[in-house]
Amino acid sequence: MTTSTTGQNFQKTILIVDDLPENLTVLGELLQPTYRVRAAVSGARALQIAASEPKPDLILLDVMMPDLDGYAVFARLREDVRTRDIPVIFVTALDTAINEQHGLELGAVDYITKPLQPSIVLARVHTQLELKEARDLLRDQNAFLEAEIVRRMADNQLVQNITIHALARLAETRDPETGNHLRRTQEYVHLLAMSLQSHRRFAAFLTQHTIQLLAKSAPLHDIGKVGIPDHILLKPGKLNPEEWDIMKTHAALGSEAIEQAERDAEKPVDFLILAKEIVHYHHEKWDGSGYPEGLAGDAIPISARLMALADVFDALITRRVYKPPIPHAQARAIIVAERERHFDPDIVDVFIHRFDEFCAIAECYSDSEEALKAKLTLVQGRDIGI
């Protein structure tokens, strides 16, 4: 049986389910003046209607039906993503407290016993529709708030990324390297970290979140060079011992600047913790001969060990004011020779395994001749006081 309201446009739709047509007639006549009513004489038909448009705002479901009883229909409704949120009122001649408790425990919103009393039916239907409207409103508000949080987090992330790159570019304006060095080393670090994610020595540290923070922090690795005088930073030849001692202070200068930023922050910032590690320790060496602390082996933070190899490889294959670039294969041989001396052996092994991808990154973000000429012109201009 189907009770329709053709030509009417009531706001709320109610599905009534009962295997006895006379019961549907009674409920339909009671509800039709206020609501759009749809009806089903079996559990199977009720499931079809509930999943179709217009979706019911409320279901009045008889418990005692052949084939699929009300409890079975209710279970199917809850299993279907299209119908699981529709509130259900059980309607039955079973009027014991145990039956009512069972229905409510299953998740029904209310329980009406027969014979039906019109005023009670209308009152309970009205109450449950109001509750559903409130729940829907709350759900929509929550969805809006979640979307707003995502949007604001994305905005904050964008501002954070821009700030990082602005700081990195600040260092780059005083350094003979080009900006693509920042992008290449960032990609190298990301590749190494992803490749080591399942390695027993690195898995606990290299979570997906940490890898994202590492890639974000990598461009800041030489930010301390802003504190190195031009006559040392831009010197085309070999530095003397005094000049080299000054050059090495860039690691501490950079980490001190980040530490100050941490103190100024209202709460800890994850990427600054890793950035400080990278800046301070990426010139340490596996055998303890590096600077500024002379750390060795696993005492060197993983973030700095990854950055060390990425930075040296890029320095080898690119032109600097004090040297020409060398071929990728020759750079590879130098890196391999420094296994267990300069670099963590497991990181070198991954570098060897992914060497073709390192070369692809180098080619993808290679420096144009125009950029190199512009950089050299700037360096030479500063060198002679322009």
Tokens encoding 255: 């980490």
Q: Are 106 and 124 in contact (CB under 8 A)?
A: no
Tokens encoding 290: 């590096």
**Which range, 153-162, 212-221, 330-339, 373-382, has the best average confidence (pLDDT)?**
330-339
- CA pseudo-torsion sign 289, 295, 301, 304: negative
**pTM above the 0.85 mark?**
no
- CA pseudo-torsion sign 326, 330, 331, 335: negative
Question: What does pLDDT average to over the chain?
Answer: 85
Give the pLDDT of residue 338.
Answer: 97
3-state secondary structure of 53: coil
Give the pLDDT of residue 375.
Answer: 47
pLDDT reading at 312 higher than 90 = yes
The fraction of the chain above a pLDDT of 70, given in percent, is: 84
Q: Which of 13-22, 137-146, 324-333 has the lowest mean pLDDT?
A: 137-146
Give the pLDDT of residue 51.
Answer: 93
The fraction of the chain above a pLDDT of 90, given in percent, is: 52
Q: Which residue has the tokens 């060398």?
A: 326
Q: For residues 120 and 112, what is the distance between their CA atoms, to the nearest angstrom?
A: 8
pLDDT reading at 291 higher than 50 = yes
Give the pLDDT of residue 327.
Answer: 96
Q: Are 44 and 67 in contact (CB under 8 A)?
A: yes
Q: Which of 104-118, 156-170, 309-323 has the lowest mean pLDDT?
A: 156-170
Q: Enumerate long-range contacts of 336-344, CB under 8 Å, 24 or more apart.
A: 338/312, 340/286, 340/287, 341/285, 341/286, 341/287, 341/289, 342/285, 342/286, 342/287, 342/290, 342/308, 342/312, 343/285, 343/286, 343/305, 343/308, 343/309, 343/312, 344/286, 344/300, 344/305, 344/309
Q: Which of 52-56, 82-86, 164-168, 299-303 has the lowest mean pLDDT?
A: 164-168
> What domains lie within the chain, and their CATH numbers?
13-143 (3.40.50.2300), 175-383 (1.10.3210.10)
Q: Are 238 and 206 in contact (CB under 8 A)?
A: no
**Position with higher pLDDT, 56 vs 380:** 56
Give the pLDDT of residue 153.
Answer: 74
Give the pLDDT of residue 169.
Answer: 65
Q: Are 246 and 232 in contact (CB under 8 A)?
A: yes
Q: Are 88 and 81 in contact (CB under 8 A)?
A: no
pLDDT reading at 84 higher than 70 = yes
Q: Are 220 and 279 in contact (CB under 8 A)?
A: yes
Give the pLDDT of residue 177.
Answer: 55
pLDDT reading at 345 higher than 70 = yes
